[in-house]
Amino acid sequence: MTGNKAIAYVGKGAVEVRDIGYPSLTLQDGPGVNPANVGRRCDHGVILKCVATNICGSDQHMVRGRTTAPEGLVLGHEITGEVVEVGRDVEFVKQGDLVSVPFNIACGRCRNCKEGQTGICLNVNPDRAGSAYGYVDMGGWVGGQAEYVMVPYADWNVLRFPDRDQAMEKILDLTMLSDIFPTGFHGCVTAGVGVGSTVYIAGAGPVGLAAAASAQLLGAAVVIVGDLNADRLAQARSFGCETIDISQGEPREQIEQLLGVAEVDSAVDAVGFEARGHGGDATTEKPATVLNSLMDLTRAGGSLGIPGLYVTGDPGAEDAAARQGSLSLNFGLGWAKSHSFATGQCPVMRYHRRLMMAILHDRVQIAKAVDARTIPLTEAPRGYQEFDQGAARKYVLDPHGLLPQRN
């Protein structure tokens, strides 16, 4: 038995390092834990020593006060770790294994899991389909921005790296397998990106950059990334993307300057519900802007991948409809152009093994694409603050001092 330090949300705009209990294979009560999950036994689980655990843009929505997350919620759903304890019902995962953990918790037993829809597991969240570590309304599973964390249904959930030494050499890339790399890849796959495609990606945060790298991996001819942040656009250009500054006007007009036509084959929304307007409205929050613009600039018969987060409750929204998750969509335009839309959590297991192989065999450098930076767990509050201010990097927390330093 040992102690456990973790990052907790403590109020709008603030996180802090707290001492919490060492994880148990029985769910304990605590901030955000669904009462129906309290006392739930997880003999099918393992306890991990967190080797790497990342700050995600989805975490920022909670920290900004844009969700109903309770104070004291332990954050973190991007987890890579070493197995240090194995539940009695775990058969194939062993102590000492180095593993990646999909952010979406799945039982492996329900209809959705058996059909590969692990982002909407029916058995892990008493309130709705789908769950995640350290996230509001997702069942109350304790987050992994910590020294140690419990992972349920381990035989099903974790991805074991085949060679520990090789994995540690590429650990900053492999830690992206828990969320943003599969999420960006999923956005591109569902948008129909393939060889010779032209694709527009809205948002140059870590998920948008991961989507851009994914589009290149899938064979896109031209990858265009749009954002307001000059540093993030420069990061996209650093690995071969075209970029547009949406503070200068509508994406459609700038796409025409790049391609000679005003439309793309595929589009990905990597922004979500805190979207801002374009041009003169770039300082104003307009949550439907990205979705409406993607329908405008995607060719008839094209597809939109929407991995960007949208919520059913946004207490910080500027109007009553948006506070309930209702947006003013120009859906008639999408219908008239026969667009396909794909939304929701990425089913990480659908992609993560193949993406692991792409990393291990040097087909992609995802850590470089998102500019991964290593910081100690104790500096997480600084990481959150800098990320919120628009830092063009991905913060990787190093709870035990095991990671190569890239800061």
The closest of 83, 159, 118, 98 to 356, measured between CA atoms, is 159
Question: 375 - beta bridge partners?
Answer: 397
pTM above the 0.85 mark?
Answer: yes
pLDDT number for residue 406: 62
- How much is the pLDDT for 392? 94
* CATH T-level topology, domain 5-179+347-398: Quinone Oxidoreductase; Chain A, domain 1 (3.90.180)
**10-residue mean pLDDT series, the chain (407 residues):** 89 95 93 90 97 95 90 96 98 98 97 96 95 92 97 98 96 98 98 98 97 98 97 98 94 95 97 83 82 96 94 79 84 96 95 98 97 97 94 96 80
Reading phi first (left if > 0) and then psi (alpha if -120 to 50, else beta), residue 153 is in left
Q: Where are the domains of the chain?
A: 5-179+347-398, 182-343
Structure confidence at residue 321 (pLDDT): 80
d(CA 152, CA 39): 13
pLDDT single digits (tens) 335-376: 999 999 999 999 999 999 999 999 999 999 999 999 999 999
Structure confidence by residue, pLDDT tens digits, 303-322: 999 999 888 877 877 778 88
Superfamily of domain 182-343: NAD(P)-binding Rossmann-like Domain (3.40.50.720)
